[in-house]
Structure 1
Amino acid sequence: MYALRPLILLFPLLLAACGGYSFGGGDYSVLPEEYRKMAIAEVSNPTMYSWMEPRLRSLFRDELTRRDLVTWVDDRARADALMTINVIRFYRPDEVTGAEDETLRSSANIEMQVVIRSARDGSVLWNSGNVAQSWPFFEGEQDQADQTVTELAVRKIADRMSQNY
């Protein structure tokens, strides 16, 4: 029994050393605690897809809230940090065409970047870098592919915002 005591004491440390386990409540944010009250300052959307801006705002709010990485405020004056979401490119190329040059499979693709700045002085607190995501789809699945590819891109950025990725 006494021989097991050191192993029992070391077990929690071994679990903590494994990347997937933590003793905290949620993911660890790359943002310092004093910059976790956030507002979305802007969504730069050079595409013709008007659904993109509200979709990205909603996805970021939901994902970062779920992970407990930030606290959202509606009034930018109360925010410590401001998020800018830059859609670089969104496109749907044909990936597979048939013998008659008909589209058999396409892909929804998004490239984007998120920059978080201090609301006090405008300094960059965090930059996601360019994030690219794609999702294949068949004829008639375009709307679902658009939803999926944007959701996956937001998750990828949220992963970068946390230590547990």
Structure 2
Amino acid sequence: MLVLLAAVVQVTVITGIRVLGAEPDLLLVTIVCVALVAGSLPGAIAGFAGGLVVDVMTLGTLGTTSIVLTLAGYWAGRYGETTGRGRAYAPPLAAFAISLLAGIGGVALHFLIGQPVSAREALVVAVPSAVLSALLALGVHRLCRAFLAVPDRLEGARQVEIV
């Protein structure tokens, strides 16, 4: 539900709003935060669903946003599963890095399928967009932790104590 709400808000409200020369990407940040909280598979599923909703709502090429957001959700989830879980800097760092990579990946994907795209504009806007994503991640990650009840993965496992 968080991803669906973020996709609708992204397309209806945020489109056209510019801050620091870049458009905030609430959907990407929400997917990164869901992936950090829930893991790589739920992150990839959230990315695919959110991208599909955006593609349908904007009448864009079906699947391009889904591919980029699926990869973003998966890699954010892997970061959360391996090193980022429980660290205060993980949400803004992941949102910053994945925002940069998703922007470059989106340009590359549109180029590969033969759609006209301005790489210069995308690269100029990449850093301000990543900074906005990092700032948004602070609040969105708290919402995701509050709304997603994810069971602890180590609950039933034996814990090893090193003496």
What TM-score do you get using the length of structure 2 for normalisation?
0.32
- Which structure has the greater CA radius of gyration? 1
Structure number with greater CO (CA < 8 Å, separation at least 6) is: 2
Q: Which has the higher helix share?
A: 2
Q: Which has the higher strand share?
A: 1
